[in-house]
Amino acid sequence: MTRYGFVIDQRKCIGCHACTLACKSENQVPVGSFRTWVKYIEKGEFPNTRRFFTVERCQHCEDAPCVEICPTRALYKRNDGIVDFDSERCIGCKSCMQACPYDALYIDPNSHTAAKCNYCAHRTDRGLLPSCVVVCPVSAIIAGDLEDGTSQIAQTLAREQVQVRRPDQGTRPQVFYIGADETAITPGLAAQPSMYMWSELGPANVELEPKGSLIQLSNGTGARANGKPTATGAPTTHAVTVYDVPHPKPWGWKVATYLWTKSVGGGAVAVAGPLLALGVLGSGLEALAGLLALVFTVLTAGLLVWDLKRPDRFWRVVLTPNLRSWLPWGAYILVAFGLASLSWLGVAGVRASMPGALVWLTVVLGLAAAGYSAFLFGQAEGRDFWQSPLLLPQLLGAAVVAGAAALLLVGIPSSAGSQALQTTLLAGVLVTFAVVLAELYTPHANKDVAAAAHYLTDGPRARYFWLGYVALGVVAPVGLLIAAGLGASGWLSPVAALGALIGLWFYEDAWVRAGQSVAMS
């Protein structure tokens, strides 16, 4: 059995970037993209300073999360341990970039498909070493078969103390480091500057934490991004990242809006179904619930396809799927829900009452459409903030809020069922807010989750959270709905519904961005 890996001796590395250039030349990596790169960390205060180098790349994990989440099997693990990719299968969904805890993947600007280090598989298959190994002037990179006891890499591992990057992720990386400094090998321990050396630009597409934000170290001490002591007087690291490559945030407003449209579509029937069964929803809202579900499901599918870098290949998700990924299952759920919603709409137009079987089938599919993303985001193992067990309750609560709010808005001409919808919306807003607060303010699993929560509540997205979500999406609707329930003007409930919908989108957008705010390399 063959199992390839790398050993990188950081005691020898001189930061010359020869490995980066050789990789680019050998694999025709476009300008601005990197399969292997060198990060510089500087520690100390002048004149007692030192620079550390770290060679970073795909870790060729034994348990590779990028392979599991890839919806079309474009990423796959070979029998020799190399994690390779097939650009002809890739749809450019960027899920692999979220699943990788090492920032190793990028979207090729020419092919619009994902790419990364593949151990120079075309060379390895011919018995040649990867190009980075050949070109390294100080032999700091060792490649070979980890299972061959006579190989240089196996003998090096047997006699040297080695480290791996982010062992807490459980991916069992096959790239081992000798003599790597903790601040260089562990993301987040070094402060992020506004610009890098030799450059007028800093980290691309990265919203920096406010100056002076806390960086928590593995030994329990802390440092400030501006080098000042922490509030507790703990020592600071004075470690700064002075050179790195860009690490874009793959998902933006389209993904946030997709979560929102799913909530409206799934929630419309998830709320309408039980109210119909109880006989408290006006018959005129039956067809409107089906129409909302159908229209917003179509919008959801459109946003999903629009966000792909290769939308022309979307059919691969359905016809050649990787069933270990939740993205194909999500596509199947959306298709089934769309058909059920169409049936609901058709039946509502010709019958006085809805068949119970159709109602409850559509309700279940609506909840599935609203909630399956919890499992998809859970497969994005590189983003610890998205691994919360409270994500599914939060998405289902958001569906209740969005569905009740949408029905209140479209049902303005009819008063039948409005009281039940107001009560449902009020309960949904309060319960969802409680879940959100629990997610953000209860003890966090690790420092990365805490940093992402801080980013959302006190960082660059704090205004989105406090003004957009809490003020507009929670406080205002609750006050208006209570006033409406006490007999105030009838226009208050539609205004409350509109505020709840807008506030929910603000939260979804801030939540998606917060999950990507923590450095992974």
Paired tokens of 397: 């609560």
The pLDDT tens digits for 178-234 are 999 999 998 888 888 878 877 765 654 444 333 333 333 333 333 333 333 333 333
Q: Determine the average pLDDT of the residues in 61-85.
A: 97
Model pLDDT, residue 196:
82
- Predicted confidence at residue 490, as pLDDT, reads 73
Q: What is the pLDDT of residue 301?
A: 96
Using pLDDT thresholds of 50, 70 and 90, give the confidence band for residue 44: confident
247-276: average pLDDT: 95
451-508 pLDDT per residue, tens: 999 999 999 999 999 999 999 999 999 999 999 876 666 789 999 999 999 999 999 9
The first and second tokens of residue 224, run together, are 């400030």
State how far the Cα of 279 lies from the Cα of 277, in Å rounded to an integer. 5
Looking at residue 283, what is its pLDDT? 65
* Higher pLDDT pick, 280 / 314: 314
Residue-wise pLDDT for 308-322, tens only, equals: 999 999 999 999 999
407 pLDDT exceeds 50?
yes
3-state secondary structure of 315: helix
Query: 519 or 267: which carries more pLDDT confidence?
Result: 267
For helices 391-410 and 253-278, give the axis angle rounded to 10 degrees: 70
Q: How far is CA 156 from the centre of its chain?
A: 36
pLDDT number for residue 469: 98
Mean pLDDT over the full length of the chain: 89
Tell how many helices (H) and how many strands (E) occur in the chain. Answer: 19, 12
Using the 8-state DSSP alphabet, how is residue 473 labeled? I
The closest of 440, 450, 401, 398 to 422, measured between CA atoms, is 401
User: Where do the structural domains in the chain lie, given as residue ranges?
Assistant: 4-243, 253-515
Mean pLDDT, residues 317-338: 96
Instruction: List CB contacts of 365: < 8 A, sequence separation 6 or more.
Output: 266, 333, 336, 337, 340
Q: What is the mean pLDDT of residues 36-54?
A: 91
Give mean pLDDT, residues 303-308: 96
Quote the pLDDT of residue 363: 97
The predicted model gives 443-453 an average pLDDT of 94
Cross-strand partners of 353 = none
Fold of 253-515: Formate dehydrogenase/DMSO reductase fold (1.20.1630)
CA distances from 153 to 9, 156, 159 (A): 11, 5, 10
Give pTM, 2 decimals: 0.90
Q: How many CB atoms lie within 10 A of CB 213?
A: 18
In one-letter notation, the amino acid at residue 408 is L
What is the reported pLDDT for 385? 97
Find the DSSP H helices in 191-252. Answer: none
What pLDDT score was predicted for residue 351?
66
Position 416 scores a pLDDT of: 60
d(CA 451, CA 404): 33
What number is the average pLDDT over the span 66-73? Answer: 97
- 3-state SS, 320-384, equals CCCCCCHHHHHHHHHHHHHHHHHHHHHHHHHCCCCCHHHHHHHHHHHHHHHHCHHHHHHCCCCCH
Residue 337 has pLDDT above 50, yes or no: yes
Residues 4-243, CATH architecture: 2-Layer Sandwich (3.30)
Task: Mean pLDDT check: name the lowest of 40-44, 267-271, 346-350, 466-470.
Answer: 346-350
148-184 residue pLDDT tens: 999 999 999 999 999 999 999 999 999 999 999 999 9
